[in-house]
Structure 1
């Protein structure tokens, strides 16, 4: 008994390739990060330039196009444990220091529901 024929393998390969293409990022990473304190924009950082600076008891580092909190005086250090970000959508938030670091999304893409 033959389980999979040539046509079946062709369909499987096409489906795998389609799945891989869907998971490839289509947009470029944003070249800047915005840092907010108490809801106000206090700094815009170029992610193409490696740098290290302090803000409200936090040590922030930019390296390799990514931004991260490397040290903080907050009790739980969740902002440090979150790691580096390089894409829009997942901000670094430090509630005790009232600091939010995010990468702006740039051009917004509409989908079928929001059009």
Structure 2
């Protein structure tokens, strides 16, 4: 191996490390500056909007002319724990925690979603 080959290999290694550290630092900074909100809408109109930071074991009861739902917020996760709709699919859904996730109760015309200014990336394909 010649001296020029060693310099090229060293340059590639330094470039790869710099790229890796820079990309990870940007992702960590985005998550720190991200404010998440729980938005509850009934029949397309905003019912309630809550900041998701440091909410511990809070239950929100939503009573409308369409029905009754109870939403639980705990450790930045949101779930539907009760609904008086006939099929209860919304209660069976898993809890949501990422920006863009939602729980929908069609019979009661209720939507619970998580919104933020910075969108989280689910998958990156190259």
Query: Which among 67, 72, 80 is matched to residue 78 of structure 2?
Result: 67
List structure 1 segments (4+ residues) > 4 angstroms apart after TM superposition: none
Based on CA coordinates, which of the two structures has the bigger radius of gyration? 2
Distance 1:108 1:84 in 2: 18
Partner of 2:100: 89
Q: Distance in 2 between matches of 1:104 and 1:32?
A: 5
Counterparts of 2:55 and 2:116, CA distance in 1: 19
**Equivalent position SS for 1:69:** strand
TM-score, normalisation: structure 2:
0.60
Aligned length: 89
Q: Structure 1 unaligned runs (5+)?
A: 1-17, 110-115
Unmatched runs of 5 consecutive residues or more in structure 2:
1-19, 121-126
CA shift, 1:31, in A, is 2.7
The RMSD of aligned alpha carbons is 2.6
Higher helix share: 2
